Amino acid sequence: MVQQIADKRDIDFVIWEQLEGESILKHDSFKEYNRKTCDMIITEARALAIKELLPTLAEGDKQGVRYEDGTVKVPDSFHRVYNLILEGEWNNLTVPPEMGGQGVPFFIGAASAEYFMGANYSLFVYATMGNGTARMIYLYGTPNQKKTYIPNIITSKWGGTMLLTEPQAGSDVGALTTTAVKNPDGTYTLSGNKIFITNGEHDLAENIIHPVLARIEGDPPGTKGISIFIVPKFFVNKDGSLGERNDIVCTGVEEKHGIHASATCSMTLGSKGKCIGYLLGEERQGMKIIFNMINSARMGTGLQALSNASAAYMLAVNYARERIQGKELQNMRDASAPSVPIIKHPDVRRNLLWMKSYVDGMHSFFYYMTMCMTKGIVAETEEERQYCADLFDLLTPVIKDYLAVKGYDVCVQAIQIFGGAGYTKDCPVEQYARDCKITSIFEGTSGIQAMDMLGRKLGRKNGTIYMNLIGEMQKTVAIAKNIEGMKDLSEKVESTVNRLGEVSLQIGKMAMAVDFKVAFAHSLPFLNVIGDTIMAWMLLWRAIVARPKLADGAKKRDFAFYDGQVKTAEFFIRTVLPEVMGRMDAIEAACPAAIEISDDGFGGL
């Protein structure tokens, strides 16, 4: 049977062979899990995703969400499958047991989520978005707030959201104008308008708990003056039953390029002057608190893009094996020669291998991040925990944006493999491409991630965290150099890593000098070359795991898989890395034209 959504053999390879996930399972927090139980979880998640979620993907896209007088109806097919997700408790896999979740190791939860997101991102997120809302309440809420909201959000009986964006406050959240006025009973009355709110209103949950960013009257402008409030759609009575409706309403849903089945809502707070919110944490701590949700949402966005890319690649490679078109190159002039599957054509093979190299590299990178995240919590020493947590923090903008951008590129190339069929609505890769595009926009656009990388992350702890990243890459190169047949590839990766170190130093200095604007004009290409170098690192790492297994006489099926690892690394390192080196030269040359050109010089006036 052909693989769908994600190649299970590849996920197994990454988590068990490359990243040695079993070492994480030795920690006390995961004592109920071993490789076998983890494998069962992923296998069942995959079965549910393919059997139940995937068939709703195209229908959800076609039907979309329907706005009717303040309510939003999700596609009809979603209700039954949503309940299946809840019945199987797939909605809170990685939520810690102390919050009511199942405490599954993060890399196992991520592998399951990859299947669910690839099968139907919009549907899965209705069931899981509340986990982030609940986590903020868990970390900053009063005992009463925790008791009132967390249990029902974790079971997804109630939904959760995040309300940041306003028409004039998108990337610049500090420009928000939603206000909060303190009432004598300690609650706050809110008024304002939010836009683009995912799952702001829908008919899958009986209540929705909105964390809302707002400014308390009189507080300073900008992000420093922002507080965060819990605003329930329905008030909750003391006995836990639902009370009256709060004054927060959905005034419409967006018609979008992709993710048609995800409700993107405009929300009005306080049109009757009666929107009541409860302060979460301290006043003016809103940004610090919401970042708990944003950072995990950024990882989730990376996984969303990866799952789309992976699913699109699976479809493309399987189509290329079946679609008969044209003769093999050596038989081009022989009209009687048989026509062959398009996978036989050199250009199609190049394109497939290009896609595979990114999908594989992104897989490894994503699961590497899940390991850093987990080790940042459970590693034995404080030093090791800090080391891993720092790496995770450093790489958050890269995992978010590099995967978003490359994931989309892979989906677009998958359309190319399908030819004319790929451009039609009958073809699922067309939907994956549209659905994937949002990942470089929400949770902070590409430009915002690039600024974060250059302006904040690169120099953190005097650049030592970044140097640790370079050091991790060099460790893999050193191992590769000693493996038979890997010398040439490892030297090429080594040159790239060293070059990245030089370019980083140069752009980092420039970002703090008079030419800082020029540096920021190159910040996104800089984030991209970091991502490209990570791809080379991850693919080399895969190859050094695979190569000895080939030498040890892997079985026929495994042989093709491991050989595929070596060839993929070879392809990326020999054909893509030279381009990356060229882009590093361009960053170092720091062309100032984008800054120097006058506004009128852009034309179009």
Ligand X SMILES: Cc1cc2nc3c(=O)[nH]c(=O)nc-3n(C[C@H](O)[C@H](O)[C@H](O)COP(=O)(O)OP(=O)(O)OC[C@H]3O[C@@H](n4cnc5c(N)ncnc54)[C@H](O)[C@@H]3O)c2cc1C
Give least dist CB 154 to ligand X, A. 19
Q: For residue 182, what are the β-bridge partners?
A: 188
Contact pattern from residue 66 through residue 105 relative to ligand X, giving x for each residue in contact according to CB under 6 A and a dash for the rest:
----------------------------------------
**Closer CB to ligand X, 159 or 281, in the complex:** 159
> Minimum distance between the CB of residue 516 and ligand X, rounded to whole angstroms?
13
Q: Note whether 164 binds ligand X by CB under 6 A.
A: yes
The backbone torsions φ and ψ at residue 421, rounded to the nearest 5 degrees and listed phi first, read -60, -35
CA distance 311 to 330: 32
Q: Which of 53, 348, 451, 566 binds ligand X (CB under 6 A)?
A: 451
Angle 592-594-598 (CA atoms, 0-180°, nearest 5)?
110
Residue nearest to ligand X (CB): 170
Task: Return d(Cα 38, Cα 276) in angstroms, integer.
Answer: 43
Q: What is the per-residue binding string for ligand X in 399-438, x denoting contact by CB under 6 A?
A: ---------------------------------------x
Our finding on whether 442 is near ligand X (CB under 6 A) is: yes
- The two tokens of residue 253 are 């849903």
The residue (of 416 and 445) whose beta carbon lies closer to ligand X is: 445
55, 252, 341, 447: which one binds ligand X (CB under 6 A)? 447
Q: Is residue 160 a contact residue for ligand X (CB under 6 A)?
A: no
Comparing CB distances to ligand X, the nearer of 164 and 399 is 164
Nearer to ligand X, 55 or 525 (CB): 525
- Using the rule CB under 6 A, is 198 a contact of ligand X? yes
Q: Give the Cα separation of 109 and 505 in Å (integer).
A: 37
Among 163, 276, 290, 544, binds ligand X (CB under 6 A): 163
Residue from 81, 125, 197, 511 in contact with ligand X (CB under 6 A)? 197
Residue 26, classed as helix, strand or coil, is: coil
DSSP, res 573? I
Residues that bind ligand X (rule: CB under 6 A) add up to a total of 20
Minimal distance in Å, beta carbon 296 to ligand X? 14
Give the residue with the Cβ less far from ligand X, 310 or 439. 439
Cα dihedral value 101, 107, 111, 116, nearest 10: 30
What are the distances in angstroms from CA 64 to CA 60, 117, 263, 300, 428? 5, 17, 8, 22, 16
500 binds ligand X per the rule CB under 6 A: no
- Of the candidate residues 65, 85, 162, 546, the single one contacting ligand X (CB under 6 A): 162
**What residues have CB less than 8 Å from 25, skipping those under 6 apart?**
33, 34, 35, 38, 105
Pick 122 or 476: Cβ nearer ligand X: 122
SS3 string of 86-121? HHCCHHHCCCCHHHCCCCCCHHHHHHHHHHHHHHHH
Smallest separation, CB 333 to ligand X (Å): 50
C-beta of 433: minimal distance to ligand X in Å?
Answer: 15
By the rule CB under 6 A, 554 interacts with ligand X:
no
Is residue 193 within 8 A of residue 252, CB to CB? The reply is: no
Exactly one of 106, 116, 196, 229 binds ligand X (CB under 6 A); that residue is 196
229 binds ligand X (CB under 6 A): no
- Residue from 144, 171, 325, 482 touching ligand X (CB under 6 A): that is 171
Binders of ligand X in range 566-585 (CB under 6 A): none
Task: Report the distance separating Cα 558 and Cα 9, nearest Å.
Answer: 9
**The two structure tokens encoding residue 570:** 């070879």
Q: What is the DSSP letter of 282?
A: S
d(CA 578, CA 564): 21
> 153, 245 in Cβ contact below 8 A?
no
State in angstroms the smallest separation of the CB of 193 from ligand X: 12
Q: Which of 58, 389, 441, 483 binds ligand X (CB under 6 A)?
A: 441
Of 44 and 203, nearer to ligand X (C-beta) is 203
Structure tokens at 2: 């052909």
Quick one: DSSP state of residue 77? T
Comparing CB distances to ligand X, the nearer of 202 and 356 is 202
CB of 262 to ligand X, least distance (A): 7
Smallest separation, CB 341 to ligand X (Å): 37
Residue 591 has which token pair? 């062309």
Residue 71: strand, helix, or coil: strand
Q: Among 65-73, 155-163, 184-192, 419-427, which window interacts with ligand X (CB under 6 A)?
A: 155-163
C-beta of residue 118 within 8 angstroms of C-beta of residue 436: no
Of 243-251, 319-327, 444-452, 555-563, the segment contacting ligand X by CB under 6 A is 444-452
For the annotated catalytic residues, the residue numbers are: 443
CB of residue 261 vs ligand X: minimum separation in angstroms? 11
Could you tell me which residues come within 8 angstroms of residue 212 by beta carbon, excluding any fewer than 6 positions away?
Answer: 163, 178, 190, 194, 228, 229, 230, 231, 269, 277
Which residues between 262 and 281 bind ligand X (CB under 6 A)? 264
62: CB partners within 8 A, 6+ apart: 260
> Does an H or E element contain 459, and which?
none
Which residues would be at the binding site for ligand X (CB under 6 A)?
A: 161-165, 170-171, 196-198, 256, 264, 438, 441-442, 444-445, 447-448, 451
